[in-house]
Amino acid sequence: MLSLEDVRLGIGDFTLTLDAEVPEGQRVAVLGTSGSGKSTLLSLLAGFVVPDRGHVRWQGKDITGLPPAERPMSILFQDGNLFPHLTVAQNVGLALRTDLRLDDKESRRVAATLDRVGLGGMGGRRPADLSGGQQGRAALARLLLQDRPVALLDEPFAALDPALRNDMAGLLEALCREHGLTLFLATHDLRDAERLCDRVWLLQEGCVVLDRPVAGLREAVPEALSDWM
Amino acid sequence: MERTGAVLAALVALAVLGPLVAVAFAAEGPGRLGPADFAAIRFTLLQAALSALFSVLAAIPVARALARRRFAGRRLLVAVMGAPFILPVIVAVLGLLAIFGRAGWLNAAFEALGMGTVSIYGLGGIVLAHVFLNLPLAVRLLLQAWLSVPSERMRLAASLGFSDGDMRRHFERPILCAVLPGALTIIFLICATSFAVALILGGGPRATTVELAIYQAFRFDFDLGRAALLGLVQVLICLAAGLLALGLVRGGEMGFGLDRPARPWPGDGPVARGLDVLSIVGASVFLLLPLLAILLEGLAALPGLPSQVWEAALRSIVVALGSTALTVAMALPIALFAAGGRGRGGVEAVTALSISVSPLVVGTGLFLILFPIVDPVPLALPVTGLVNALVALPFILRALIPAARAAEAGQGRLADALGMTGWTRLRLAILPRLRRPLGFGAGLAAAFSMGDLGVIALFSSPGEATLPMEMYRLMGSYRTDDAEGAAVLLMLLALALFWAFDRGGRVDAVA
């Protein structure tokens, strides 16, 4: 269980306030317009910012002050996920050893994960030699190898065309099921939420104004979500 | 306006290349180069290489510290890093003399401790002065690269648990690979063509640069053939370094970020903090102490300065304003021409010629052209203004052309759709977007011209000295108090001119 207990974070005029619980393995879509606080919420969960008040707990343990690397979270950004001077395999290998001194077993794990995301044989390429979709897959491979139970995805499909978006969403869905990941997906698109998530949070000005299961959303559209349908 | 720009760009190329051709024609055969000349070539290469190397090595920890720390006064320190661009070189050298000179603070401390004294003259002093003048440039180039790392990538590093070593390997090493070759070459070029530093701290058979040898052949021996030959050697050195710089200067591989510092910085710890504090304090003391020394010792002498200093100051202001007006008059049409269509980027390259050519060599060429026709000495001030304008032009264009392109991209089509043409289009649609870079560029040009001690040293007669020239004479006649007072005046005037133009560009400017 991930608990956000009376969390408050102020940045200038903006304030994010949260009080919620998310069971392990649940997938939450965080919807909201630009500036509503989606990315700030993910930054707070990842440990890039520390709340002014309240606690974040994972399985009962207080992780509020833990640095990003010691948290049970891995994160995927909209872009900037790969180091351009490293090969795809090295980028993925960072999940295992940041000094990149991988032994044979670890190198095989990297290759297997690249196979799993459909990048078999591309480990020696540089990110610049990959398409946008392939770059997303490489970042996803690293996220899987980090083997952390909570995945934070900050608009990962925003830069992809519809076909690639579909492709990535399908892969992500399969991987979430395989690994039992707890997922937070920041998105502008309700279709992503419907496809990948069990639950929807609608953020407005830093507050969750709607918290509903995805199932049955179309049958009884909440007032707050009508513009998103 | 665009046609004017093309014509002006051609004239600028002619104004730079013409003197070079004159130098090439007047140059005697390479057989005239004696042992002293070869020693000057060797010394030029050595001091420029050492200056570039030390400037960049010292800049690495300072840039890293400024990138990862936020502290009170950081913005001021980064701004001070820009000061040597507008600080007259002769003032900087006098500041260094106040600290490291024979009667400077350092030697006073050594003597008080019963230790031997150090001399700032010769190779060590020239390299020290060049590091003082170029360390800020190297820091800015590296800091810019650090700040262009996407914040997401920093966060990714934090999320992956990067250590300080990982940060060096995956962030700093690619930054250094991208920035260092270009930075080293640019600083080498600046130091190879530096004249005032060698004039004051060099000299003698063991510390003469090619620039200084040209000056000596010209001023002391009036041996124009040898001066031209040395000028040609200097052109070849600069051309080689310039071509190398063109090939090596490239953008960083890290992409462009949002200039948001990562908090906390991945791999941060007590050792990193300690190193950063040392780097920042060390750089601040090294850069600020000489200026502070000049201010402390020169302010008191300011009211009692002799009248010829004030006359020289007035002359310098006139030359600086004329040179700035000329720079702006050339830069604006050239920038509009360069921004006006595809395939015009070459204009920038042509005008950048004047960066890789020594002003002293251009001055020598102009003298050679003028000498058979008129007496060049009465033309010292206009020629100085012209050469200063040519030297400042690439810097102002560098700021102006991207802004002109952005203005065209942003407002050009709207202006076309509304039928705005000619002066109306320029005044209402384009110029408001160019005010800020134009003001900044004009400020740089004015400050540079105000502090220049190059061409004027070749041409000037005692009655026509500019303020830097007068200051040099005061230093030469051991009137240190007056020289320090003149240095404060020169520094204040250069800063005031920069501030006035830069501020003028910002008033009501469109971002």
Estimate the crossing angle of helix B89-100 against helix B467-476, to 10 degrees.
30
Total domain count, chain A = 2
What is the pLDDT at residue A5? 92
Domain boundary among A96, A130, A147: A147
Q: Which residue of A has its CA nearest to B262?
A: A48
Does B158 sit within 8 Å of A98, measured CB to CB?
A: no
pLDDT-derived band at B509, boundaries 50, 70, 90: low
Counting one residue from chain A and one from chain B, the pairs whose CB atoms sit within 8 A come to 70
State the CATH class of domain B1-32+300-511. Answer: mainly alpha
**Is the Cβ pair A79, B166 closer than 8 Å?**
no
Q: Which residues of B touch A68 (CB under 8 A)?
A: 155, 158-159, 161
Note whether A201 and A222 are same-domain residues.
yes
Asked if the C-beta of A162 comes within 8 angstroms of chain B's C-beta atoms, the answer is no
Residue A141 shares a structural domain with residue A172: no
Computed over every residue of chain B, the mean pLDDT equals: 85
Question: Looking at the complex, does the CB of residue A97 fall below 8 Å from at least one CB of chain B?
Answer: no
Domain of A168 in residue numbering reads as 1-72+152-229
First to last CA, chain A: 30
Claim to verify: residue A64 and residue A107 sit in the same structural domain: no
Measured between CB atoms, does A47 come within 8 Å of chain B? yes
- Domain stops at, among A147, A166, A197: A147
Q: Does B221 touch chain A (CB under 8 A)?
A: no
Are A66 and A171 in a shared domain? yes
CA nearest B156 in A: which residue? A81
User: A62 with A162, same domain?
Assistant: yes
DSSP per-residue letters across A66-103: --GGGSSEEEE-SS--S-TTS-HHHHHHTTT-TT----
Percent of chain A with pLDDT over 70: 95
Say yes or no: A86 contacts chain B, CB-CB below 8 A: yes
DSSP labels for A120-142? TT-TTS-GGGS-HHHHHHHHHHH
Q: How confident is the model at residue B289 (pLDDT cuts 50, 70, 90)?
A: very high
Are residues A107 and A36 part of one domain?
A: no
Q: What is the mean pLDDT of residues B76-101?
A: 87
Residue B191 banded pLDDT, cuts 50, 70, 90 = very high
Nearest to A69 among B160, B169, B262 (CB): B160
* Exposure string over B208-245, b if 16+ CB within 10 A, otherwise e: bbbbbbbbbbbeeeeebebbbbbbbbbbebbeebbebb
> Tell me: domain B34-225+280-298, CATH 3.40.50.450, correct?
no
Domain co-membership, A66 together with A94? no
Domain stop point among A127, A147, A167 = A147
Give the residue-averaged pLDDT of B469-481.
90
pLDDT of A81 higher than 90: no
Q: What is the pLDDT of residue B286?
A: 93
B491, B484 contact by CB (below 8 A): no
pLDDT tens digits for B99-156? 998 888 999 999 888 888 888 999 999 999 999 999 998 998 898 888 888 888 888 8
From the list B159, B163, B174, the residue facing A75 with the nearest CB is B159
Average pLDDT, chain A: 87
- Predicted TM-score (pTM) of the model is 0.80
Q: Which residues contact A211 (CB under 8 A, 6 or more apart)?
A: A20, A199, A200, A201, A202
Min Cα separation A49/chain B (Å): 8
Most confident region among B74-83, B198-207, B278-287, B332-341 by mean pLDDT: B278-287
Q: Where along chain B do its domains lie?
A: 1-32+300-511, 34-225+280-298
Over residues A177-219, the pLDDT tens digits come to 888 889 999 988 888 888 889 899 989 888 988 888 888 777 7
pLDDT greater at residue B461 or residue B320: B320
What pLDDT shows up at residue B409?
Answer: 79
pLDDT score at B342: 59
Same-domain status, A60 and A158: yes
Look at residue B257 and tell me whether its pLDDT is greater than 50: no
Is residue B468 within 8 A of residue B491, CB to CB? The reply is no
Cα–Cα distance measured from residue B461 to residue B376, given in angstroms and rounded to the nearest whole number: 10
Give the pLDDT band (50/70/90) at residue A228.
low
Is A63 in the same domain as A16?
A: yes
Q: Is the dihedral of CA B390, B17, B231, B378 positive or negative?
A: negative
- CATH label of the domain that carries residue A176: 3.40.50.300
Residue-wise pLDDT tens digits, A20-47: 999 999 999 998 888 888 889 999 999 8
Residues of chain B in contact with residue A85, where contact means CB-CB under 8 angstroms, are: 170, 174, 177, 253
Please state the rounded mean pLDDT for residues B324-353. 79
Q: Are residues A58 and A161 in the same domain?
A: yes
